Amino acid sequence: MRPDKRAVRIGIGGPVGSGKTALVAALCRALATELRLAVVTNDIYTTEDADFLRRAGVLPDDRIRAVETGCCPHTAIRDDISANLDAVEELEERLGALDLILVESGGDNLTATFSKGLVDHQIFVVDVAGGDKVPRKGGPGVTTADLLVINKTDLAPLVGADLGVMARDAQARRGDLPTVFLSLVGEPGAAPVADWVRDRVAEPASTPRHHEPTPAHTHGP
């Protein structure tokens, strides 16, 4: 474990079915050979997302940890992050030094965001099939995420979604924060998102990424 420089932690959130797990799988495929990485998944059905990643063969079993969220996925990533911190730290202790840990939220709603106590950066994933009004609705995920991914653009003509409207509304909501349009059908490696993640791992931390103080053992028996 590196005492002064731990793995970069990136949260991936977004509504149910927007493609978070598929994006995590794509990022693992793109990055697993160049970065030491692990995944914590918070799907409400504990093992389902983890099993998806295992079946996809993108990460060995021991690099994936599942966390139960007691029917409240947003609580586990925002209000009470202890189970996720335990999972992150357990991975770092067991696997040694890591470059990147992806924390995938369970599917939630537009108000779910990650605590800064849990992740360094967050990606919010919405999809065109959820309606092209989603960026206009805003909410903390769309408005404040470090990267907004508008996913499944290949479905846009089928569901009558106007990508131009989504781009315009996203920019109005997000100002200078980046937005990426993605189709994992056309681009299975999620290249633009993988590049963004690479940049986050490579950049010096704006604030030192110290380990959380783990429960102290102040006096031995």
Partner 1 sequence: MSLSTLLVLADGRLPAGAHAHSGGVEAAVAAGRIHDLPTLESFLVGRTSTSGTAAAAFAAASCRALTTRPVPHARSGDIEAAPLDRARLTALDNGARSAARVESLTDHRGALRDDSVRPAERITALDDGIDARTASPALRAASRAQGRALLRAVARIWPAAVNPAGPNPHHPIATGIAAAAAGLGPREAALTAVYGGLTGAASAAVRLLGLDPYTVHALIARLAPECDRVAADAAARADDPVDDLPAGSAILLDLDAERHATWEVRLFAS
Q: Counting contacts by CB under 8 A, is residue 93 touching partner 1? A: no
Return the range that interacts with partner 1 (CB under 8 A); candidates 33-41, 67-75, 126-134, 147-155.
67-75
Number of C-beta neighbours around residue 93 at 10 A = 10
Tokens 């998944």, residue located: 41
Q: Which of 129, 126, 133, 132 is nearest to 107 (CA)?
A: 126
Q: For residue 27, how far is the Cα from the chain centroid?
A: 10
Q: Counting contacts by CB under 8 A, is residue 69 touching partner 1? A: yes
Q: Counting contacts by CB under 8 A, is residue 111 touching partner 1? A: no
Residue 135, token pair as written in the block: 């960026």
Return the range that interacts with partner 1 (CB under 8 A); candidates 124-132, 136-144, 167-175, 210-218.
210-218
Q: Which of 193, 16, 25 is nearest to 122 (CA)?
A: 193
Q: Identify the residue among 12, 28, 30, 83 touching partner 1 (CB under 8 A).
A: 83
Q: How far is the CB of 66 from partner 1 (least distance, A)?
A: 10
Query: Phi/psi at 19 (nearest 5 deg)?
Result: 105, 25
Residue 43, token pair as written in the block: 């799907």
Q: Which residues within the stretch 115-154 sit at the binding site for partner 1 (CB under 8 A)? A: none
Reduce the DSSP state of residue 101 to 3 states and report it: strand
Q: Counting contacts by CB under 8 A, is residue 209 touching partner 1? A: no
Reduce the DSSP state of residue 156 to 3 states and report it: helix
Cβ neighbors of 93 (< 8 A, separation 6 or more) are 1
Q: How far is the CB of 120 from partner 1 (least distance, A)?
A: 18
| 19 annotated ligand binder | yes
Q: Counting contacts by CB under 8 A, is residue 72 touching partner 1? A: yes
Question: Quick one: CA dihedral 145, 183, 131, 178, positive or negative?
Answer: positive
Return the range that interacts with partner 1 (CB under 8 A); candidates 21-29, 77-85, 174-182, 202-210.
77-85
Q: Identify the residue among 2, 16, 17, 47 touching partner 1 (CB under 8 A).
A: 47
Q: Counting contacts by CB under 8 A, is residue 48 touching partner 1? A: yes
Q: How far is the CB of 24 from partner 1 (least distance, A)?
A: 20
Contacts with partner 1, residue ranges (CB under 8 A)? 44-48, 67-72, 75-76, 79-83, 85-86, 212-221
Binding-site residues for GTP, please? 14-21
